[in-house]
Amino acid sequence: MAVLLTGGAGFIGSHTCVELLNANEEVVILDNFSNSKPDVLDKIRTITGKNFRFYEVDLLDRDGVEKVFAENDIEAVIHFAGLKAVGESVQKPLEYYHNNITGTLILCDVMRKHNCKNIVFSSSATVYGSPKSVPIKEDFPLSTTNPYGSTKLMLEQILSDVFVSDNDWCVTLLRYFNPIGAHKSGLLGENPNGIPNNLMPYICQVADGRLEKLNVFGNDYPTHDGTGVRDYIHVVDLANGHLKALIHSRKEKGVHIFNLGTGVGYSVLDIVKAFEKANNVKVPYVIAPRRAGDIAECYADATKALEVLGWKTQYDIEQMCKDSWNFIVTNRK
Ligand code: WQD
């Protein structure tokens, strides 16, 4: 029995693949390389010394998805594949809804046809919108402010409705906060194409001299230093959260929702200072206007994942900064 990772060549998917292989799980990866690179596959094999089957398939290609299930005995799916840039989603809503929603509908239809009724879904803290308070619990109100976030919220609803229609399903919704860091080997990490949208890859490129300075998007938020506060979580901690969720799902039916965060909020300037100290580098910055759509504070109450999954994060912000930088230094051209 194998576990299918859609988008398994991506930043979070590849790190999750490593943790599953290390736990002696049988893994199949499906990916279309729209936001990842083929060399990741051999890096996973190098890190783990283990193999897995790979299919270059787009979820919109039903025949391709069907082939994966026809050729493998898939017991569960961890569903990472999807477009995920907030700003881009505002510019290209049709592409985001088609790719993320239609792709998932095809996946679930093929799963159902092959009697595979266990899905762990890559959701996001973005479904909480602008939270009424922090830390955020799983039962907080949900709202979204951009098409990317709306696809996540809609897919949570769709998957919940699938369980209502057939109580033999297990649906696990994992709401990520802000994943950063990289595998300690330096072989896997966050490698966005073009100018990074997210804070940590941008800081890395400034420290590496590829970008001149960091623009700090606003210092007039109601936070301890005026800059935005987020819950940064090491990608390997996040990957292990998926392994714990998979193990839990095998004993369960129903819809299960978990925040995957550290429960600690750091501001933009906290991160800049932590990165400079951890890596003995400078990160020049200027205060710039707020970015549209940003919220002041967002960090998790991760109690439920600890109580139900027995999962808690192991890596602190210093290690996250060191591992992010190690990936850059290790992969300089
Ligand atoms: C973090 C903080 C910015 C860049 C997004 C998505 C979310 C998830 C994670 C997919 C904020 C500030 C950033 C910069 C800055 N993605 N910042 N200068 O916006 O919290 O979350 O990525 O699931 O869905 O919304 O992450 O890293 O973009 O921003 O000052 O050049 O850093 O204002 O306070 P965000 P981020």
Query: The tokens of 250 are what?
Result: 């095998």
* Ligand 1 close to Cβ of residue 215 (< 6 A): yes
* pLDDT digit string, tens, across residues 55-88: 999 999 999 999 999 999 999 999 999 999 998 9
**Which atom belonging to ligand 1 lies closest to the Cα atom of 202?**
31
Is-contact 138 175, C-beta < 8 A? Answer: yes
Q: How many residues does the chain have?
A: 333
User: Which residue out of 220, 224, 230 has the highest number of ligand 1 atoms within 8 Å of its CB and is therefore the one to mutate?
Assistant: 230
Which uninterrupted H or E stretch holds 55?
A: strand 53-56
Strand partners, 300: 136
Distance of alpha carbon 207 from its chain centroid, rounded? 24
Separation of alpha carbons 126 and 298, rounded Å: 9
Is-contact 53 28, C-beta < 8 A? Answer: yes
**Which atom belonging to ligand 1 lies closest to the Cα atom of 230?**
20
Separation of alpha carbons 61 and 39, rounded Å: 23
Q: Can you tell me the mean pLDDT for 295-316?
A: 97
- Among candidate residues 24, 167, 157, 159, the one with its CA nearest the CA of residue 78: 159
pLDDT of 20 reads 98
Higher pLDDT, 175 or 332: 175
pLDDT of 256 reads 98
- Among candidate residues 301, 303, 319, 236, the one with its CA nearest the CA of residue 264: 301
pLDDT of 192 reads 76
Q: Can you tell me the mean pLDDT for 225-229?
A: 98
Q: Which residue out of 96, 148, 176, 202 is catalytically annotated?
A: 148
Residue 210's CB is within 10 A of a number of other CB atoms, namely 12
Q: Is the pLDDT of residue 292 over 90?
A: no
Start-end of H helices in 146-287: 147-165, 199-207, 235-249, 268-279
* pLDDT digit string, tens, across residues 117-176: 999 999 999 999 999 999 999 999 999 989 999 999 999 999 999 999 999 999 999 999
Q: Can you tell me the mean pLDDT for 28-57?
A: 97
pLDDT bucket at 316, cuts 50 / 70 / 90:
very high
Residue 257's CB is within 10 A of a number of other CB atoms, namely 18
* pLDDT digit string, tens, across residues 196-209: 999 999 999 999 99
> Where does 199-228+264-298+323-330 sit in CATH, by number?
3.90.25.10
pLDDT of 169 reads 98
pLDDT bucket at 194, cuts 50 / 70 / 90:
confident
Q: Can you tell me the mean pLDDT for 96-121?
A: 98
Q: What is the location of CATH 3.40.50.720 in the chain?
A: 2-182+230-262+300-313
Q: Which CATH number fits domain 2-182+230-262+300-313: 3.40.50.720, 3.40.50.2300, 3.30.1280.10, 3.30.460.10?
A: 3.40.50.720
* pLDDT digit string, tens, across residues 258-284: 999 999 999 999 999 999 999 999 999
- Is residue 315 flagged as an active site residue? no
Q: Is the pLDDT of residue 193 over 90?
A: no
Strand partners, 79: 6, 121
Query: The tokens of 67 are what?
Result: 């082939």
Distance of alpha carbon 276 from its chain centroid, rounded? 25
Query: The tokens of 99 are what?
Result: 């790719």
User: Which residue out of 80, 142, 144, 291 has the highest number of ligand 1 atoms within 8 Å of its CB and is therefore the one to mutate?
Assistant: 291
pLDDT of 333 reads 79
Strand partners, 120: 78, 172
* Ligand 1 close to Cβ of residue 84 (< 6 A): yes
Which of 160-169, 173-182, 184-193 is predicted least confidently?
Answer: 184-193
Average pLDDT of the chain? 97
Separation of alpha carbons 70 and 310, rounded Å: 34
Q: What is the location of CATH 3.90.25.10 in the chain?
A: 199-228+264-298+323-330
